[in-house]
């Protein structure tokens, strides 16, 4: 059974989706690759206490690693990319090519980028920490401005407004 709730954040509204008690999605307003809204289930804010608490602590600068039950729904390849994203330390970045190397297929940087773009649990599964091989910001489902702000925040260069 799927449920959802919408919370405010320094990036605008975030829609949280859970499936059978595990976090299955965090979507920003006007996010690319947004699933159909009817797939989010019924509104039920009670199902998201831990996720809301940890997101609040993250945006306050008090939490660097999330500890939540999650269900990552995608292809085997997508899930392998998303699992690697969870290993990128707070405030650090890696490239699509480096992730492809870690997957054992150095020619798969573009496929890694496509999987990264379809990450259903933004912020917590930190796809914002992946950059282009030249060090430039490339692609982010929530928009490059939000990606820059998340990276700047994690590097101590931007203080997010309270929410």
Domains and CATH numbers, the chain: 2-59 (3.30.160.70), 76-154 (1.10.10.10)
Known catalytic residue at 76: no
**What's the pLDDT band for 163 if we cut at 50, 70, 90?**
very low
Share of the chain above pLDDT 90, in %: 71
**What's the pLDDT band for 159 if we cut at 50, 70, 90?**
low
**What's the pLDDT band for 160 if we cut at 50, 70, 90?**
low
Residue 42 to residues 4, 22, 27, 82, 119, Cα–Cα distance (Å)? 6, 15, 16, 26, 22
Token pair, residue 98, equals 């480096």
Catalytic residue among 127, 130, 131, 150: 127
pLDDT surpassing 50 at residue 162: no
Spatial distance between the Cα atoms of 87 and 84, rounded to a whole number of angstroms: 5
Q: Give the pLDDT of residue 94.
A: 96
Average pLDDT, the chain: 90
Query: For the segment 30-84, what is each residue's pLDDT rounded down to a tens digit?
Result: 787 888 888 999 999 888 999 999 999 999 999 999 999 999 999 999 999 999 9
Provide the whole-model pTM: 0.89
């Amino acid at each position: 059974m799927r449920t959802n709730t919408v919370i405010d954040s320094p990036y605008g509204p975030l829609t949280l989706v859970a499936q059978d008690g595990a976090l299955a999605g965090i979507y920003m307003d006007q996010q690319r690759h947004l699933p159909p809204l009817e797939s989010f289930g019924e509104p039920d804010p009670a199902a998201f206490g831990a996720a809301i608490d940890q997101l609040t602590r993250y945006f306050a600068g008090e939490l660097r690693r999330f500890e939540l039950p999650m269900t990552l729904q995608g292809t085997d390849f997508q899930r392998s990319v998303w699992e690697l994203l969870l290993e990128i330390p707070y405030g650090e970045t890696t490239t699509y090519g480096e992730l492809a190397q870690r997957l054992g297929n150095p020619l798969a940087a573009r496929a890694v980028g496509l999987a990264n773009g379809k990450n259903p649990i933004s912020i917590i599964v930190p796809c914002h920490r992946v950059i282009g091989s030249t060090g430039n910001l490339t692609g982010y489902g929530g928009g490059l401005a939000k990606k820059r702000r998340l990276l700047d925040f994690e590097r101590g260069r931007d203080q997010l407004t309270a929410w």
